[in-house]
C-alpha cells in the first residue's frame, strides 16, 4: 500500500467497495448451488437457496453502479458502461425466461455467445480496474487485477470447452464439481482483489474525520 496516496484517490477507491462487493456476492450466487429438499403432499422437490436470478440481479446492480456512476474516465468509462449494459440485459432475459420457458432453452450457439460475452465482460472489468490501479501507482493491486483477469479468461469458459468434446459429462457429479471449481477460482480471485482495494480505500474514512478536515 502507498502511504502517500492522495486523500481524494483513497475516497475514490472506497466508493468502489460497494459495487465490487455486489458483483462478488452475485457471482457466488450464480456459481454455488445449494438445494434443499421440500415435501409438498406426496411430492418432493429441490429448491436452490442461492437462486441464480438473485445473483444476476446483484451483478447487474454492481456493474450498473460502476458503469454509470462516474467511477472511470475516458475509454474505461465506456467499457464499464458496456459491461453494465450486458449484465443488465442478461438479467432481464433471465427474468423473462422464468415467465416464458421458451427463452430458457436457447440453442447451443446462443449459449456459447452469452458465455463468450460474459467472459469478455468480466475480463474487461478486471482490466479497467487494473488500469485504474496503475494510474494511481498501485502496482500490487494492479497485478492482482491482472491475475484475476487471466484466471477468468482461463477457467470461466473451460467447462463449456470440455463439454464441446465430451457432451455426455453434463449430468455427472464429477463434471459438476469440476465446473463449480472452475467458476469458483476466478470468483475468489475477484474477492481478494476487491478486498485489497477496500482495505486501501478504507483509510479515507479516518482521514476525513481528522481535525484538519473539520
Domain assignment present for residue 2? The answer is: no
Look over the chain and give the mean of its residue pLDDT values, rounded to a whole number. 82
CB 15 within 8 A of CB 201: yes
Q: Is the pLDDT of residue 174 over 70?
A: yes
Retrieve residue 162's grid coordinates: 470440455
Would 167 be classed as within a structural domain?
yes
| Domain tally, the chain | 1
Residue identified by cell 481535525 is: 211
Record the cell numbers describing residue 112, joined without a space.
Answer: 456459447
Whether residue 68 is contained in a domain is answered as: yes
Distance of CA 105 to the CA centre of its chain: 24
Domain-located, residue 120? yes
Residue 91 class from Cβ within 10 Å (0-12 exposed, 13-18 middle, 19+ buried)? buried
Indicate if the pLDDT at residue 214 is higher than 70: no
* pLDDT tens digits, 12-60: 888 898 999 999 999 988 887 655 545 555 555 444 555 788 899 999 9
**Residue 212 covered by a domain:** no
Report yes or no on 186 lying in a domain. yes
Is 211 inside a domain boundary? no
pTM above 0.85, yes or no: no
Q: Determine the structural domain holding residue 93 and report its residue range.
A: 7-206
Whether residue 214 lies inside any domain: the answer is: no
> Mapped to the 3 state alphabet, what secondary structure does 65-125 carry?
HHHHCCCCCHHHHHHHHHHHHHHHHHHHHHHHHCCCHHHHCCCHHHHHHHHHHHHHHHHHH
Amino acid at each position: 500500500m502507498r502511504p502517500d496516496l492522495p486523500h481524494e484517490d483513497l475516497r475514490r477507491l472506497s466508493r468502489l467497495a460497494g459495487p465490487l462487493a455486489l458483483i462478488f456476492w452475485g457471482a457466488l450466487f450464480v456459481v454455488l448451488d445449494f438445494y434443499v429438499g421440500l415435501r409438498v403432499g406426496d411430492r418432493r422437490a429441490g429448491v436452490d437457496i442461492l437462486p441464480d436470478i438473485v445473483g444476476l440481479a446483484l451483478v447487474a446492480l454492481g456493474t450498473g453502479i460502476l458503469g454509470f456512476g462516474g467511477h472511470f474516465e475516458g475509454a474505461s468509462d465506456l467499457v464499464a458502461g458496456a459491461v453494465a449494459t450486458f449484465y443488465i440485459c442478461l438479467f432481464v432475459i433471465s427474468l423473462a425466461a422464468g415467465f416464458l420457458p421458451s427463452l430458457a432453452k436457447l440453442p447451443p450457439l446462443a449459449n456459447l455467445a452469452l458465455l463468450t460475452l460474459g467472459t469478455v465482460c468480466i475480463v474487461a472489468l478486471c482490466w479497467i480496474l487494473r488500469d485504474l490501479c496503475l494510474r494511481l501507482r498501485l502496482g500490487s493491486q494492479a497485478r492482482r487485477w491482472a491475475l484475476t483477469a487471466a484466471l477468468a479468461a482461463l477457467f470461466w469458459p473451460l467447462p463449456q470447452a470440455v463439454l464441446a468434446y465430451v457432451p455426455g459429462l453434463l449430468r455427472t457429479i464429477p463434471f459438476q464439481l469440476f465446473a463449480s471449481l472452475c467458476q469458483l477460482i476466478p470468483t475468489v480471485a475477484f474477492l481478494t482483489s476487491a478486498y485489497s482495494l477496500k482495505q486501501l480505500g478504507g483509510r479515507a474514512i479516518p482521514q476525513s474525520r481528522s481535525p484538519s478536515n473539520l
